Amino acid sequence: MKQDKQDCSDVSRDNCDRHDETLTTRRGEPASSLETLVANTRGKLTDAHHHIYDSRYPLDPAAQLRPADATVADYRALQQRLGIGRHVVVQPSTYGTDNRCLLDALRQFGTNARGIASVSDTVTDRELYILHDAGVRGLRFNLEYLVGLTVAMIAPLSERIEPLGWHIQLNATAAQILEHHALLASVSSRLVIDHMGQIPQPAGLLDPAFRVVKELTARGRTWVKLSGPYLVSQTGGPDYADAGKVARSFALHAPDRMLWGTDWPHPTQSADKKPDAARLLEDLASWISDDTTTYRILVDNPADLYGF
């Protein structure tokens, strides 16, 4: 569907060019399912996974992903466009364990934002409490792009953060989930798995990692983010039908353990392949096909996990 640009006077021209998805509107549709969905959340729609990139902060020398700026101002434009009321800023591997960009973003966003940080096992208790006071509610381990962290740090850090009510957030391929299944089943804290566990296609529901993730959610302390369908889809967008089948099955199995996120600004995707975040939200509604469950995913579940 053709998209028309909004006025870009409120952001720089460079940002307008880079983040076109935040500055466009979908036209030609009646009061859309998306509009109805947003209205029903009454300002509580939650994006449980996005990043902030700001060139004022140094990149980790070992960083593999080095996206262009995607600032607080840019994300606010996306919030307004989609009707996002609450959101979770996730520390990207780009900054390693330097959380200054994350903390600055949380300060600017205020009380309707939460954060997921990255720290090594040398972190002090005082530093953890400072992060908590700033709005951090979990620690991320990105096994695809480990920067300054090791898998061996997961278990001891999960024990240290459990009294804070935090969780371990894991970004991993399906193969890595299988490799570390025993560890993930034994972590002391709650666990969140990014991007549906990146269950590969076309295997989908038949992939052994799908069964492992379902088993983890059945224990009641693991959440799954229904995000990043473009990371594994073979059928492609805009509906990502194959990844949608995985999302639907997870949601039927454990509806109270599902979350949704934009993964904005989609740092693994080239400029010509970045999805429309509004369409990703519509995809969720079409995959789930149940208003009660969709509301739970967008409002109730993140409120429970992140303490909104």
Residue 148: its pLDDT value, please?
A: 83
Please give the model's pTM, rounded to 2 decimal places. Answer: 0.88
> Is 22 within 8 Å of 81 (Cβ atoms)?
yes
Evaluate whether residue 138 is within a structural domain: yes
In this structure, the chain runs to a length of 308
Number of domains in the chain: 1
Query: pLDDT tens-digit profile of 67-113?
Result: 999 999 999 999 999 999 999 999 999 999 999 999 999 999 999 99
> Is 38 within 8 Å of 83 (Cβ atoms)?
yes
Task: State the CATH number of the domain containing residue 99.
Answer: 3.20.20.140
Kindly state the percentage of the chain with pLDDT values over 70.
Answer: 89
Residue 32: its pLDDT value, please?
A: 54
Evaluate whether residue 38 is within a structural domain: no
Query: pLDDT tens-digit profile of 31-48?
Result: 456 688 888 898 999 999
For 98, how many CA atoms within 13 A lie in the half-sphere containing its CB? Answer: 14
Evaluate whether residue 257 is within a structural domain: yes
Paired tokens of 268: 């693994």
In angstroms, the CA 298 to CA 159 distance is 28
Evaluate whether residue 106 is within a structural domain: yes
In angstroms, the CA 299 to CA 126 distance is 31
What positions carry a catalytic annotation?
A: 263
Q: Is the pLDDT of residue 13 over 70?
A: no
Q: From residue 194, give the alpha-carbon distance in Å to each of 19, 38, 94, 111, 125.
A: 23, 23, 17, 23, 26
Residue 89 has phi, psi (to 5 degrees) of: -90, 120
In angstroms, the CA 237 to CA 172 distance is 22
Evaluate whether residue 6 is within a structural domain: no
> Is 127 within 8 Å of 100 (Cβ atoms)?
no
Evaluate whether residue 19 is within a structural domain: no
Helix H or strand E segment including 73: helix 72-82
Structural domain boundaries, residue 296: 43-306
Evaluate whether residue 34 is within a structural domain: no
